[in-house]
Amino acid sequence: MTPVEILIVGGPHSGVGKTLASEVALRALSGRSFGAIKLTVADGERDPQHDHGASALAVADAAGICGRGASCGVCETVSTRIPSRLITTLRAIRKPNTDTWRLSEAGALAVAWVIALREGAPQAVDAALRYLADHGARGAVIEGTTALEWMNPKASVMVASSPGKRWKDVAVRYVGRCDIVLCNRVPHVVGDVPPPEQFFAAEPLSCDLASPADPGTRAYIGRVRDLMSYGAEAGFEGQRGTGGALTA
């Protein structure tokens, strides 16, 4: 049986604090047997200057995949021939200072990293959830905005900064349907583009996720605990399978 309590943490682009928001959520759910999934979707937004092509795939096949710590050719490790990769080896997951390492350090019972083409992501995430369940997880924090397109989680979070970079379409479409919307005060502004009107319409909670004592962060922790409060014993009645659409 796959974990029945799912919390998705998304964001419009890199540098807004998605991993940090996931860490805070995992610590808020300490003792609840939560695992974590890092979802990286190869959506075509690649930087030609950092396209390592086949060399990145060779690194991955050698089980020395970087976890985004040494190369940014991650997206090139999947293709129509290999539409997804499920990374679970401790050497990859526990590589210091990577996102997966941070999720593990935050208390995740087990961590899986999914790298997938958009069309291969649902099946790969299902496999990752089974992996977490096999390691005792009864819930999962999924860091990955694209999961909002097909999953119906118990709770969902969108974290952004103001200003920032141009928002991905999936974030614009789903920000108004997330249970928690955060405006994170990042230490280094990553762009000068204002968020779309959908972000402000969602009445985001201002916070500094890097500060546990910040009132906004404390409010976020309380909201996560409230939303995830009813027990895993409820089974699947309160949640559709991962093929279900997110409802408004």
- Quote the distance between the C-alpha of residue 137 and its chain's center: 17
- Round to whole Å and give the CA distance between 208 and 187: 9
What's the average model confidence in pLDDT over 29-40? 96
Residue 127 banded pLDDT, cuts 50, 70, 90: very high
Residue 74 pLDDT: 60
pLDDT top residue among 120 and 68: 120
CATH number of 5-230: 3.40.50
- Residue 245 in tokens: 């659409």
Residue 237 pLDDT: 32
* Consecutive H or E run containing 130: helix 121-134
Please calculate the CA angle 218-141-105 and round it to the nearest 5 degrees: 75
Residue 240 pLDDT: 34
- Residue 247 in tokens: 């409802």
Asked if residues 157 and 13 have their Cβ atoms less than 8 Å apart, the reply is no
Residue 77 pLDDT: 72
Q: Which residue has the tokens 């935050």?
A: 106
Residue 1 pLDDT: 65
Give the pTM.
0.82
Q: Which of 87, 84, 83 is nearest to 66 (CA)?
A: 87
Between 5-9, 43-47, 155-159, the lowest mean confidence (pLDDT) is in: 43-47
The gap between the terminal CA atoms of the chain, to the nearest Å, is 27
* Consecutive H or E run containing 116: strand 111-117
Inform me whether the pLDDT recorded for 103 exceeds 90. yes
**H-helix segments, 39-85:** 54-61
Instruction: List pLDDT tens digits, range 49-66.
Output: 334 344 444 444 443 343
8-state DSSP, 46 = -
Residue 189 pLDDT: 87
Q: Which residue has the tokens 């080896």?
A: 89
Q: Which of 118, 115, 210, 209 is nearest to 170 (CA)?
A: 118
Residue 73 pLDDT: 53
- Average pLDDT of the chain? 84
Inform me whether the pLDDT recorded for 146 exceeds 60. yes
Residue 76 banded pLDDT, cuts 50, 70, 90: low
